[in-house]
Structure 1
Amino acid sequence: MARGLFVTFEGGEGAGKSTQIVRLAEVLRAEGRDVLVTREPGGSPGAEAVRHVLLSGAAETFGPAMEAILFAAARSDHVEQVIRPAVEKGMIVLCDRFLDSSRVYQGVTGNLDAGFMRALEAVAINGMMPDLTVILDLDPALGLARAAARRGNETADRFEKETLDIHERRRRGFLDIAAREPERCVVVDASAPADRVAADIERAVRARLIGKEAAQARLQGQGA
């Protein structure tokens, strides 16, 4: 069975990841493709149990290292119970946040040691790197305004409530990752109209699908 495609979506608060994932999933499913939409923290029963602890801020008092460990534990369960089995079945997996969020939120603005973060990441993903990462880039002030409008009277979560300076550092962190790993990451201007953002994302995903399908066809031809 041909391996599927693993696509992650990253970016700051209010960048529109969830909305764009739903739009892309609808387009791909309309073509008859088997698509799984998931999220982090969460996505599997074990990881969802950790999600509330993290987003409620209950782990905040224990410091960024403890938060990073909890994220890694949730990610490991998510990878092994949901993501890896789906990709191995040939599905397209669209995930709202993954390892780059930990690199930025705990590594960059949590000021955690790079070696510590690399070790956690290696254990958590166990080789399950994304085939493509879409980074939705947006001015943090606009993103926070969008997030506030979206939640209405609800309380801001653990990360939304932080200062604008921290959110600006996170934006730079995501852009730095994209610059270091251009073969994996594509940056999309999330301030553009939603239809244009969706078109840019679809173009990037289709390019990766075409490349993967062509490679699989070559392998099948060699094995014939």
Structure 2
Amino acid sequence: MQLSLEGRVFAVTGAAQGIGAAIVASLADAGATVAAIDIDEDGMASLAHRATTHAADLGSRDGARSAIADVEALHGRLDGLVTAAGGVRGQAGRPIEEISEADWRAIFAANVDAAMWCAQAAAPGMKARGWGRVVTISSGAGLRPSLTGIQAYASAKHALVGLTRQLALELGPHGVTVNSVAPGFILSNPSTERQWDAFGPERQKQIVQGIHMRRLGRAEDIANAVVFLASDRAEWITGQILPVDGGHA
């Protein structure tokens, strides 16, 4: 099955590294015109030959609207949006008594607010053209308790799953599908590598043994699923959460 995105314009948030960067590459390989969006402008330098790059802080409504407007102005339209921005923002698991308001809000801003405001900005154009794709990157932490032990991260990813399903209901009549890819444990950036190292050999072994495929995921595994959901082959799939986790025991 060949998947072609020729003639389509996609924006990818959180594009500077890891899963986001892999999604940019895979969409471009499928023929799409891609706009990479991230707060880390320098981190996107390696993507310049695959995508246009747009530095933005997506945690605010104004920042997200400005970034999407820049993409639409440059490329003439926006057919699809992949919200890969998020992560743990340098936090580690701690007892609930130690969590500050700032810590809680930082993770929600990155994982939920950014997806909401980018989708809000992108939706009018997609609705007007009667075709669109929104793919959020949630997590296994949005389906069950999080391996990170971070209360805000688990809560934010559960909220992102809810947002995905609600937007699917709202945008479906306009020809726009909204789905989510929920990765398992992916060694894709310095934060996940630090987390993996912190588990120690025994915990690492337990995690791998709990995966049917007996390996950790790769960023490309997630990107491949995104390309399918972005394609015409997935035109009657919406409101779904696709776990890409190698099988979770």
TM-score clears 0.5: no
Instruction: Using structure 1 for the length normalisation, give the TM-score.
Output: 0.41
- Say which structure is richer in helix: 1
